């Protein structure tokens, strides 16, 4: 029998025992036995066959990946149109039948990065399968887009990339967890190492640095930095002290991949702010 995973890092016990679970066996008897066993820890069980159970797992994660890809496409479009995609999405989501995800620096983790491919692996000839592939390509592109934003921010501010120090905040694939599997930060750090003089990485949950220099504190990471890149939405980063940050950096430039910093607060403290989906030109 098969009970597909439906848990998020950091909430395993809560979701294992409290979320509805799909139980699929090879036949009615095995399904029944599995339901009987699993009901010891979770009473919210829905019986199915094993193929349907796995299909449900894949389509749940593919739905999320598709939605995030749509949000990331809107972010890229908003940058061209000169609008703030976060503002636009929040307004769109006031519609009772609309629920658009928020964009970001990319998609990571062990599930969303592979399950869409598994869904269509043996049936790529099904009409529309390219929709899944396109969504994956959009989400896989976003770390490169963040790197492009960094290089553009250096260029417009007259900073030579070969002499620049970039601080990358966050290596885990999502906020407040220690999981770095398929993290967008791996690609961001790797590409930056090819383009700039120094990449220093800090994450309060992980010692991974993906080839960059690891800092033990946020202050150490941003000291004398020419650009501060926010790649993960950890709570620690959401509470960042902007006046203190400005004193530590060499150039007050923020590239925000997760909308952790309020753009207008950054501007008010003298920072130049570049964010995924933030296409507005602000005159102070």
CATH of the domain at 64: 1.10.1040.10
Angstrom distance (rounded) from CA 271 to CA 246: 8
Q: What is residue 282's predicted lDDT score, i.e. its pLDDT?
A: 52
Q: What is residue 284's predicted lDDT score, i.e. its pLDDT?
A: 40
pLDDT at residue 158 greater than cutoff 60: yes
Domain of residue 46, residue span: 12-53
Count up the domains in the chain and report the number: 3
Cβ–Cβ under 8 Å, residues 284 and 84 = no
Angstrom distance (rounded) from CA 252 to CA 226: 7
Q: Rounded mean pLDDT of 17-42?
A: 93
pLDDT per residue over 62-108, tens digit each? 999 999 999 999 999 999 999 999 999 999 999 999 999 999 999 99
Q: What is the pTM (predicted TM-score) of this model?
A: 0.93
pLDDT at residue 16 greater than cutoff 90: no
Q: Return the closest-CA partner of residue 75 out of 172, 133, 145.
A: 145
Mean residue pLDDT across the chain: 95
178 plus 233 within the same structural domain: yes
Give 273's strand partners: 254
pLDDT at residue 245 greater than cutoff 60: yes
Q: Is residue 284 situated within a structural domain?
A: no
Q: What is residue 281's predicted lDDT score, i.e. its pLDDT?
A: 59
Annotate 138-183 with three-state secondary structure.
HHHHHHHHHHHHHHHHHHHCCCCHHHCEEEEECCCCCCCCCCCCCC
Which is it for the CA torsion 214, 215, 221, 225, positive or negative?
Answer: negative
87 plus 130 within the same structural domain: yes
Q: What is residue 10's predicted lDDT score, i.e. its pLDDT?
A: 76
Which pLDDT band holds residue 205 (cuts at 50, 70, 90)?
very high
Catalytic positions, written as ranges: 57, 111
129 plus 254 within the same structural domain: no
CA distances in angstroms from 70 to 73, 95, 143, 223, listed in the order given: 5, 17, 16, 36
Radius of gyration, alpha carbons of the chain? 21
Annotate 5-70 with three-state secondary structure.
CCCCCCCHHHHHHHCCEEEEECCHHHHHHHHHHHCCCCCCEEEEEHHHHHHHHHHHHHHHHHHHHH
Q: Is residue 237 situated within a structural domain?
A: yes
What is the total residue count of the chain?
Answer: 284
Q: CATH no. for residue 258? A: 3.40.50.720
Q: Rounded mean pLDDT of 116-142?
A: 96
Q: What is residue 283's predicted lDDT score, i.e. its pLDDT?
A: 44
| Residue with tokens 């120090």, as numbered in its chain | 165
176 φ, ψ to 5°? 60, 30
Q: Rounded mean pLDDT of 179-185?
A: 97
Of 4-13, 220-229, 257-266, give the lowest mean pLDDT range. Answer: 4-13
């Amino acid at each position: 029998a098969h009970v597909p995973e439906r848990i998020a890092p950091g909430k395993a016990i809560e979701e294992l025992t409290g979320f509805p679970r799909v139980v699929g066996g090879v036949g009615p008897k095995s399904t029944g036995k599995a339901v009987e066993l699993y009901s010891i820890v979770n009473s919210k069980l829905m019986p199915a066959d094993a193929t349907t159970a796995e299909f449900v797992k894949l389509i749940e994660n593919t739905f999320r990946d598709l939605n995030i890809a749509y949000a990331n496409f809107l972010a890229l479009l908003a940058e061209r149109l000169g609008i703030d995609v976060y503002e636009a999405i929040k307004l769109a989501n006031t519609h009772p039948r609309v629920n658009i995800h928020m964009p970001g620096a990319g998609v990571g983790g062990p599930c969303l990065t592979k399950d869409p491919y598994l869904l269509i692996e043996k049936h790529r000839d099904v009409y529309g399968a390219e929709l899944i592939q396109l969504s994956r390509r959009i989400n896989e592109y976003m770390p490169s887009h963040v790197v492009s934003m960094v290089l553009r921010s250096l260029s417009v501010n007259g900073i030579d990339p070969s002499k620049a120090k970039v601080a990358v905040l966050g290596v885990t694939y999502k906020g407040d967890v220690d999981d770095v599997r398929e993290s967008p930060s791996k690609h961001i750090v790797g590409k930056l190492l090819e383009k700039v003089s120094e990449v220093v990485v800090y994450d309060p949950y992980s010692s991974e640095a993906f080839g960059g220099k690891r800092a033990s504190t946020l202050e150490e990471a941003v000291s004398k930095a020419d650009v501060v890149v926010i790649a993960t939405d950890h709570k620690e980063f959401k509470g960042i002290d902007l006046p203190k940050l400005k004193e530590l950096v060499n150039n007050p430039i923020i590239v925000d991949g997760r909308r952790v910093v309020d753009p207008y607060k950054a501007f008010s403290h003298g920072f130049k702010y570049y964010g995924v989906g933030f296409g507005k030109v602000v005159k102070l």
